Amino acid sequence: MALDIRQLEYNEISEELAKINAPKFRAKQIYEWLWQKSARSFDEMSNLPKEFREQLKAQFDFCTVIESISQTSKDGTVKIGMQLKDNRLIEGVMIPDQNRATACVSSQVGCSLSCTFCATGFLKRERNLEVGEIYDQVILLNKYAKLNNGKGLTNIVYMGMGEPLLNYDNVMRSIKMITSPEGLHMAQKRITVSTSGISRGIIRLADENMNFNLALSLHAATDQKRDEIMDINRSNNLDSLVEALNYFYSKTGNKVTFEYILFDNFNDSIKDAEDLIVLYQRVPAFINIIEYNNVEGVTLKKAKADKRDAFVNHLRKRGITVAVRRSRGKDIDAACGQLANKNDAGITAKV
The alpha carbon dihedral of 264, 267, 272, 277 has a sign of negative
Burial annotation 114-132 (CB, 10 A radius, 16+ → b, else e): ebebbbbbbbebbebbbbb
* Strand locations in the chain (E): 3-4, 60-61, 66-72, 78-83, 89-96, 101-104, 108-109, 127-128, 155-158, 191-195, 213-217, 256-262, 285-291, 322-325
Quick check: is 336 catalytic?
A: yes
Quick check: is 91 catalytic?
A: yes
Do 196 and 230 touch, CB atoms closer than 8 A?
A: yes
Kindly name the residue from 63, 111, 115, 336 that is annotated as catalytic. Answer: 336
SS3 229: helix
Closest listed residue to residue 92, CA positions, set 52, 142, 56:
142
Kindly name the residue from 16, 91, 259, 291 that is annotated as catalytic. Answer: 91
Tell me the CB-side half-sphere exposure of residue 78, using CA atoms within 13 A: 24
CA trace torsion 40, 42, 46, 52 (10° rounding): 170
Closest listed residue to residue 349, CA positions, set 62, 24, 96, 83:
83
Residues identified as active-site = 91, 336
